[in-house]
Chains A and B, each alone.
Chain A
């Protein structure tokens, strides 16, 4: 275990219990005066915290893998069009009125993610070309975005409309163990696939030709990436909606503490993503806001956009 990973694990061991106590109702562990403290902890806050860890780990690791795959520190798992695809699937569930049955919404979202992955593989799967892949991903993202807008504009009633818009903002409020059961297995599988891609991503640091000369099979790597990113991001969107910028920010923050190889970035990024989402979600709960709590997706975009801008300004010197 590397040092950054150990530090992040320690930080998580500290933050998880703290985050359980924080919320609209604060729980004092020494004097639990609130009657239903156990219910709040076990049925409300614990699944929410676990979900933040699962979704954050998936987004962080897939961000690190994407930056390694595209050899670009500005890359984000959203570039593959998988998150917009999953969102479109979820929006379809709202549109056709299936969202009220708890299981169907995430199933629709996962189907949307699978659809985006299949389309990607169909367009670019044979070549294994990174450029073709990115362009195909951007095309799929635009298409899914357009169809989502279409669904919003044609939504059958105002309730569906408000549900879709609220859901798209991304949140972990009111989630249950049920959602954990839906998101955790695909995320774990996706993380394992990204882990398998680690050595190939390292080789890719030297460019595509050198990577192939080192025995990397581009088509195999592409499949690991599509399935790994698809499962982690798809599962995240299925239970939490669109939560952007985690996959962009976290690898950046942890990279200076690693030896900068993409493979040594994967575990710290997963842990860092889990930590970021856990802290951000607890902060959303605690912030006193009129009209309910701050949506997690909005909070992270408010953090992420200036971060991205700062990064661009810092890189501008090198690019100009």
Chain B
């Protein structure tokens, strides 16, 4: 089974000996207060940041030993900024996800068409990116990652800056990827989103792992009080929880 495993990751001033074995088929949310090291951990897992100590292993081989293109085929990464420098068409942008593959053109086209269809974007294929709404743009950027058919999908705050309907839709797409066998790892700021959509939550506090487990456990009220120094209560049913302060 494909496993992405961090052992004793240390990045000066950011992470202090974080270990976690991530499994495919799960949506793992990385939570924590500002500056806790969430994005740093994600960048290490994606192979974009070399830790000062410790290592990340993919399927029992050190990630650092993989050639960049091999790593890129296995791990898709969606950064937070969502930058697109040129006004590409949706189709051309999504096709960038195929760059790590030296595949025949027909195969690339099929993968792009499938990624567009998966995220319900086929009718936007010829549109310029600049004409899209925020929600459409977020889906297009996710489709870019899916087009590379990575076994691991790592995303930094993919749900931030989306309205409720788009958050739910995109979270649904991410869960579907996990259900299809991919490993999904997300940095999530909004604890209710993590609670409702993740199957596992890692809580970071000051660069160290403060909790790791199913959301009900890792985001229990006492953990929130300890890590965020906020007294808060969960309301609602499992899968539709809301967090209220006080």
Q: Which residues in A have some Cβ–Cβ distance to B below 8 Å?
A: 71, 199, 202-207, 209-210, 212-217, 259-262
Contact = CB atoms under 8 A, between A and B. Distances in A.
A206 B67 CA distance: 21
B86 A213 contact: no
Contact of B99 (A202, A207, A262): A202
A217 B68 contact: yes
B79 interface: yes
B125 interface: no
A213 B75 contact: yes
A210 B77 contact: yes
Interface string B37-65: 00000010011100000000000000000
B72 A214 contact: yes
Contact residues of A: prevailing secondary structure: loop
Nearest to B70: A215
A204 B88 CA distance: 13
Contacts of A213: 46-48, 72, 75-77, 79
A77 B93 CA distance: 26
A209 B89 CA distance: 21
A215 B71 contact: yes
B231 interface: no
Contacts of B81: 207
A216 B96 CA distance: 12
A206 B76 contact: no
A269 B152 CA distance: 38
Contacts of A216: 68, 99
Interface residues of B, number: 32
22 contacts: A205-B84, A205-B85, A205-B86, A206-B79, A206-B84, A206-B144, A207-B79, A207-B85, A209-B48, A209-B77, A210-B78, A213-B75, A213-B79, A214-B97, A214-B99, A214-B100, A215-B67, A260-B87, A260-B88, A261-B86, A261-B92, A262-B86
Contact of B69 (A205, A215, A261): A215
A210 B87 contact: no
A207 B77 CA distance: 12
A204 B93 CA distance: 11
A212 B84 CA distance: 15
Given A217-B68, A259-B89, 16 more contacts: A202-B99, A203-B96, A204-B85, A205-B96, A206-B84, A206-B144, A207-B85, A212-B48, A213-B47, A213-B75, A214-B99, A214-B148, A215-B68, A216-B68, A261-B86, A261-B88
B86 A260 contact: yes
Contacts of B46: 213
Contacts of B144: 206
